[in-house]
Structure 1
Amino acid sequence: MADKILEIKDMKKHFNLGGGQVLKAVDNFSIDIYRGETFGLVGESGCGKSTTGRTIIRLYEPTSGQVIFNGEDVSKLQGKKLKEFNRKMQMVFQDPYASLNPRMTVGNIIAEGIDIHGLCKGEERKKRVNDLLKAVGLNEEHASRFPHEFSGGQRQRIGIARALAIEPEFIIADEPISALDVSVQAQVVNLFKKLQKERGLTYLFIAHDLAMVKHISDRIGVMYLGNLVEVTTAEELYANPLHPYTKSLLSAIPIPDPEVERTRERIILEGDVPSPLDPPSGCPFRTRCPNVMPECALSMPPMKEAAPGHFVSCHLHK
């Protein structure tokens, strides 16, 4: 059995907006992530993917549930233990324009974590920054420049170097390619794969581009309105999707064969995504589901193993 690096048990993140309104951004989220794998998390915008990542790393405090990293409950960590956790888990943010301090040089941006954790100084610090720049495909002379002097793809490489600076074990990549040109996206994904192989990293890779997620992920979780609805390997998800929502997402991916593209079935969902302020009773997907049944309104379907390693939350699969 592979070694679990992260266990998430019934994690919730609700935001109290006042006036009795509660936004249920993440609801009953449970997953295990194994050391050395890439777990892809996909879903439409607003489904709670980024909030999930930020809650795991404690940028947000969970409303309830547990996040267990290397056998320790993250919510209970304080002082030295919390600082050690912050070193072992890092985040690469979605927007490479907003996530870098425009007043700091690239060298100081990358070395900020090194300085906070007191890992090295002087020439050793400079050498580590230069090595990190090379590792992400940049040059030593880039260390003295400022973020505005770089393209979007280069800025994201700087963000990756910053995350790697304190030698983490686990990286949460929060839609790290969505703000980049299509021509650059594949380069950055391939960089993630190369660094994982070299450094033995584990990734939670958050995205809404299913085609790109398949390219990088070992397993994929599909999220809808704050809930996980399907989890399995990347190959199995594409070959045999079980949840109606997953099927609709996959049917929207373009196929580079005009004949196949012209004749294949498209699943068009009716209506808009419900508000997380007032989610539907029972299954959150029932208001848009082409296979809706009366029991879907009565209870949330539990996550069940429909096939070995293939989990789905749907009343169609009992």
Structure 2
Amino acid sequence: MKTEEMMVELKDVKKHFYIRKNQTLKAVDGVSFSIKKGEMFGLVGESGCGKSTLGRTILRLYEPTEGFITFKDQIVHQANAQQKKELDRSMQMIFQDPYASLNPRSMVMDIIAEGLDVHRHLRGKERKERVWELLETVGLSKEHANRYPHEFSGGQRQRIGIARALALQPEFIVADEPISALDVSIQAQVVNLLQKLQREHGLTFLFIAHDLSMVRHISDRIGVMYLGKLVELTTSEQLYKKPLHPYTEALLSAIPIPDPDLEDKRKPILLKGEIPSPISPPSGCVFRTRCPKAMEKCAMMVPEMKEYEPGHYAACHLYDEKSNWDHDEVAMTRE
């Protein structure tokens, strides 16, 4: 059950990769937000915006270049050896590719039990029964334990990955685009399974995806990323009802409407140009080179993330001096 207690907090987190002399790829560039205990927090954006890098940085697969990440008031990247073991048990990940993330030479029994072998030292019958229990939890049977990953469908392999993530009874799970590699018919099954596990086990999720329609269905709050920066953050309902950032508006306009008549009348927002390189991002607002509402100010100043309505944050100069929220009244020029 979701509470007001904070499970994970990020403060100005940056993850830069040094390519060569005088060249730095800014994959994550100053991201701050918090995830409440029991919450399903959605993180969306185009491919290459830094979503997966941020998720891996939270779990210590990458060291942050700057900033702080705390898990239950403990700074993750300042943990000692014993604290790191405890964090490994409490924080797990479901990977995007359900086949590449499973060792093709290992049977399902050993894949799921790997964490148990390291942290719980289970042996014999106790080990088998725990794996069988996990398989049944994700909708598989104990007969599947003695098979190899190539003997399963994509949806079944992702269920195995979920069972592995649950093995150590974690409190927080990063689901890195867990449905993007699956058939549409299977995606809903996996999403429903994650929601069921969240309710039954009180799990907290960071759900990373680029499919906004699915994120809307599953998430309590949603953060929108563009080129390494968080540009908007609010509840799922508010984001779809009243998006503030032009990038969010463009993403939402691309979601198909199931009514053919309404779909024909709709005018999606088409963003011109390519996504800038994170090695050499634009000055000021990183979205300005593709923004149909860009102003001169956007090239000179980096917009701050501000709360414009209760619980609704955005990083956009359009609203710096605006209080009535009427987009059409803002003086704008095309870039």
Superposed counterparts of 1:220-239, under 5 Å = 220-239=222-241
Superposed counterparts of 1:85-96, under 5 Å = 85-96=87-98
Q: Which one-letter code corresponds to 1:188 in the other structure?
A: V
SS of the residue 1:316 aligns to: helix
- What is the TM-score normalised by the length of structure 1? 0.99
Could you say which residue in structure 2 is the equivalent of 1:256? Answer: 258
Flag structure 2 segments of 5+ consecutive residues without an equivalent. 321-335
Q: Distance in 2 between matches of 1:71 and 1:268?
A: 42
Q: Does 1:11 align with 2:10?
A: no
Instruction: State the shift of 1:119 in Å.
Output: 4.9
Could you say which residue in structure 2 is the equivalent of 1:34? Answer: 36
Could you say which residue in structure 1 is the equivalent of 2:141? Answer: 139
Instruction: State the shift of 1:114 in Å.
Output: 0.6
Q: Distance in 1 between matches of 2:21 and 2:87?
A: 36
Superposed counterparts of 1:1-318, under 5 Å = 2-318=4-320
Q: Distance in 2 between matches of 1:14 and 1:49?
A: 13
Once the two structures are superposed, residues 127-146 of structure 1 have per-residue CA deviations (whole angstroms, 9 ceiling, x without a partner) of 11001000000010000000
Q: Distance in 2 between matches of 1:142 and 1:186?
A: 22
Q: Which one-letter code corresponds to 1:113 in the other structure?
A: G
Aligned residues: 318
- What is the TM-score normalised by the length of structure 2? 0.94
Q: Distance in 2 between matches of 1:298 and 1:50?
A: 29
Q: Which one-letter code corresponds to 2:135 in the other structure?
A: L
Q: Distance in 2 between matches of 1:207 and 1:104?
A: 28
Instruction: State the shift of 1:78 in Å.
Output: 2.1
Instruction: State the shift of 1:265 in Å.
Output: 2.3
SS of the residue 2:318 aligns to: coil
Q: Distance in 2 between matches of 1:284 and 1:180?
A: 32
Q: Distance in 1 between matches of 2:216 and 2:196?
A: 16
Q: Which one-letter code corresponds to 1:125 in the other structure?
A: R
SS of the residue 2:317 aligns to: coil
SS of the residue 1:221 aligns to: strand
Could you say which residue in structure 1 is the equivalent of 2:330? Answer: none
Once the two structures are superposed, residues 133-171 of structure 1 have per-residue CA deviations (whole angstroms, 9 ceiling, x without a partner) of 000000100000000100110000000000000000000
